[in-house]
Amino acid sequence: MSLKTINIRTVILVLIILAATAMRLVSFKFPFLSNFTPVGAIALFGGAYFNPKWKAYIVVLLSLFFSDIIINYLYTSKWVLFYSGSLWLYLCFAIMVFVGSLIKKVNVLSVFIASIVSVPIHWLIMDLPWLYGTLYPHTLQGYGMSLAAALPFEKNMILGDILFGAILFGGFELAKSKYTVLRSKNELAV
């Protein structure tokens, strides 16, 4: 494979996402940081920058899948590929990739709004009471109890999305301003 066939922008985007995904392991050592992770920001970042967009879904969901395996091993000492809420979780992050793909002009406001919008997606889907057996009654009241119990975790997710979104988007925009190889074909055409 020659260097001409390697898309440097795609390689850099994948490496950024892998590096950010590794930050998920921090919450294992510091449980008070539960959900203060870059996963929402990664989904938005991938959706905003990958072209074609299918690459965003593949890279983001695979990074989530493989990091889930490691995190589940750290917590349970077992290799768990899927758990009861896996498909729902991946659906949430696929929707977040879609939200990221709606960012047409990367700026502080658009990234902030996307970060705020992505958290209720996770909150409303992942806290459905029947996803976790009998922890909450499978009723509307049980759903309300589940949503209320999740508020501290969702607060951490909003803060994580905002902080890591600023780092990922801001860092890549800065890098694009210095290295034209990181710009998309549309940006180079302007």
Domain ranges of the chain: 3-28+35-185
Q: Cβ distance 67 to 24 under 8 Å?
A: yes
* pLDDT confidence band for 1 (50 / 70 / 90): very low
pLDDT at 3 over 70: no
Q: What is the pLDDT of residues 105-123, one digit of tens each?
A: 999 999 999 999 999 998 8
Q: In the prediction, which pLDDT does 104 show?
A: 92
Nearest to 90 by CA among 55, 125, 124, 120: 125
- Mean pLDDT of all residues in the chain? 89
Angle (CA) 110 113 117, round 5°: 135
Using alpha carbons, select from 33, 66, 64 the residue that is nearest to residue 46: 64
Q: Is the peptide bond before 52 cis (omega within 30 degrees of 0)?
A: yes
Largest CA distance in the chain: 60
Strand runs (DSSP E) across 72-167, as ranges? none
- Please compute the mean of the pLDDT values over residues 41-58 and round it to a whole number: 96
* Residue 132 scores a pLDDT above 50: yes
For 20, other C-beta atoms within 10 Å of its C-beta total 20
DSSP 85: T
Tokens standing for residue 60: 């983001």
- pLDDT for 134 beyond 90: no
Phi-psi label, residue 133: left if phi above 0, alpha if psi -120 to 50, beta otherwise: left
Q: Which residue has the tokens 């607060």?
A: 155
Asked whether the beta carbons of 154 and 104 are under 8 A apart, the reply is: no
Comparing CA positions, the residue from 116, 175, 156, 174 lying closest to residue 24 is 156
Output DSSP code: residue 184: -
Q: What is the pLDDT of residues 10-48, one digit of tens each?
A: 999 999 999 999 988 887 788 777 788 899 999 999 999
d(CA 92, CA 102): 16
- pLDDT given at position 4: 54
Q: Are 17 and 42 in contact (CB under 8 A)?
A: yes
Q: What is the mean pLDDT of residues 50-76?
A: 94
